[in-house]
């Protein structure tokens, strides 16, 4: 169920062609969840600023069924991943976590509860 979304002002041609696959494998490994449940969305070419500057920046979101206990650990890993793959400095994006309950997510017409 994890959904990893990256909104960035980088143009499409600056996002590596294999970024979706790399991000999917990264999220599955980091969260210890089957990759078959992972969704990755990348939104390049966004009109956005961070800290008053339109230098390369992003907004990263992770939706996950969790209590949030490992968000601090995940934040560090996500920051390193995004910086290494997209060359966006870690101080140029926020990572926002949405911690969901099993009752709040469904797949194939059934919730995870």
Please list the active-site residues: 2
- Burial zone of 66 (CB within 10 Å; 0-12 exposed, 13-18 middle, 19+ buried): buried
**C-alpha–C-alpha distance, residues 42 and 59, integer Å:** 10
Query: Do the beta carbons of residue 113 and residue 95 sit within 8 Å?
Result: no
């Amino acid at each position: 169920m994890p959904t990893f979304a990256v909104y960035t002002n980088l143009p499409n041609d600056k996002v590596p062609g294999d970024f979706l696959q790399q991000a999917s494998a990264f999220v599955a490994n980091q969260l210890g969840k089957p990759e078959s449940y992972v969704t990755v969305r990348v939104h390049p070419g966004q009109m956005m600023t961070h800290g008053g500057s339109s230098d390369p920046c992003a907004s990263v979101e992770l939706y996950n069924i969790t209590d949030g206990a490992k968000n601090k650990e995940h934040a560090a890993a996500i920051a390193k991943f995004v910086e290494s793959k997209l060359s966006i400095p870690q101080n140029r994006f926020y990572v926002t976590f949405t911690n969901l309950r099993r009752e709040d997510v469904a797949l194939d017409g059934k919730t995870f509860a």
